[in-house]
Amino acid sequence: MQHVDCKLPWSTKETPDNASTKGSLKIKECLLTINEANEATISHLSIIDKIRLRNQKLGITRIIWTNSSFDDILKADNIKHSPFRKVYGACSTAFTVCDILEPEMITILVLKYSGMFRILKPNEPQYIAYDDKKLWADLEKTHAGYEFGDDEDDDQND
């Protein structure tokens, strides 16, 4: 570890009889993240983080897709899933996000429908916003107005 930044209060515990470790830090309700530069940040463990970690432990996988027929595929194949949430991106692209609730079903989906969906990573905006209505609304606003660009520069030669 190159650097650790702790954004929470902590206490110490001495262990003088331990030959390899003379003490430790005690931090409650924390989330440890390590970036690409091998720097750690210890921050508050939010309810969203708790949901994400619980879902990982249960084998729940969050996916995203753009093909509107994939909604029907999940229903037709009786795949247990969470509610579908749509968000619009640039150029009016509609993305749908949901959780696949049965761990064994993600393998079947990957084998049968490879290329029709993508597994979201926990650091992606759609993954994070799915559990938080305010963040989801903010994500939708991010692409508002991008459907049609500014036409002022298009008439330069007129």
Tens of pLDDT, residue by residue over 26-62, are 999 999 988 888 999 999 998 888 888 888 888 899 9
Is residue 20 located within the same domain as residue 72?
no
Whether residue 129 contacts residue 137, with contact meaning beta carbons closer than 8 Å, is answered with: no
Residue 49 CA to chain centroid, in angstroms?
10
Examine residue 111 and state whether it is found in any structural domain, yes or no. yes
32 and 89 in a single domain? The answer is no
Containing structural domain, residue 96: 59-142
Considering the domain architecture, whether residues 7 and 63 belong to the same structural domain is answered as no
Counted domains in the chain:
2
Structure-model confidence comparison of residues 148 and 64, the more confident one: 64
Q: How much of the chain exceeds pLDDT 90, in percent?
A: 38
Q: Is 155 domain-assigned?
A: no
149 occurs within a structural domain = no
What kind and span of H or E run contains 32?
strand 30-34
Q: Which pair of structure tokens corresponds to residue 155?
A: 């008439």
What phi, psi does 107 have (nearest 5°)?
-65, -45
Looking at residue 144, its pLDDT comes to 56
Structure confidence at residue 128 as a pLDDT band (50, 70, 90): confident
Listed range (55-64, 65-74, 145-154) with the worst mean pLDDT = 145-154
User: Please, what is the average pLDDT of the chain?
Assistant: 83
Query: Is residue 157 very low, low, confident or very high in pLDDT (cuts 50, 70, 90)?
Result: very low
Helix (H, G, I), strand (E, B) or coil at 111: helix
Q: Are residues 22 and 92 in the same domain?
A: no
Instruction: For 131-147, write each residue's pLDDT tens digit.
Output: 878 888 887 776 554 44
Is the domain of 37 the same as that of 77?
Answer: no
